[in-house]
Amino acid sequence: MTSLAPLARRAFLLLGLGPLLGACGGPDAMGLEPEEDFTTRASALCTDPDIADVSATLGTQPGSAVSGESNGDAYGSPECPRQYVVEALSTSGKHVIISAAWGDSSVQSSAALCRAAWLRATAYGSATGASWTQLGSLTVQGSWDDTFGCSFMWPQDKVVLTLSSSPHARLRVTARAYITKSTGTEYHRVKARIAIPLPPPPPPELAPGDEAPSF
């Protein structure tokens, strides 16, 4: 006569592992892409030479920027898969804001798509372009407001990193935008920007005899 104890233990284990096994397929709850998109190869850090989609010298005046926008969802290279790359040169000593943005209106009017949308970006710095240091990263999920719509529309730019005085002669930002669906990951247009911010506006001038409001 066969003992029921081993069968019972096996059934218990299968039932307990069921939710874990089901969670292994497709994008997870944190919006991570399939495993093959994240490799440990050095080239996956997007720091190889000559892979930037946009590369230009950053000016010296407030408002100067090096920026770019992908051609739809067609971005990335074998050295830097599914990443749009913007590189700024001559950035040493400059006050710099590095940002990324969702690039199309696909999530503007759909709460479901907005909540399934993700923006990921990473900033790098280098002295010569031969070796790079990761400086910071950003992962943002879309959120929905019944009045204003999707958070990726207001404001569009999401700050990855701010440097009050850049110690790096070169800066890079890699970015990708995507929606996680049951059928897989759907990539979308993305923007990236490295800029010297504009100064804050001056306070309004008071008419003679007026006093500044107190709070």
What is the structure's pLDDT at 32?
Answer: 57
CATH of 41-195, one of 3.30.1490, 2.60.120, 1.10.1740, 2.40.350: 2.60.120
pLDDT at residue 67, rounded to an integer: 97
> pLDDT of 165-181, one tens digit each?
999 999 999 999 999 99
DSSP state of 200: P
Domain-wise residue ranges, the chain:
41-195
For 191, the enclosing helix (H) or strand (E) is strand 190-195
Give the CA dihedral 133, 39, 24, 31, nearest 10 degrees: 40
Q: What is the pTM of this model?
A: 0.76
pLDDT at 169: 97
pLDDT above 90 as % of the chain: 62
Which tens digit of pLDDT belongs to each residue from 82-93? 999 999 999 999
Of 59, 68, 66, nearest to 88 (Cα)? 66
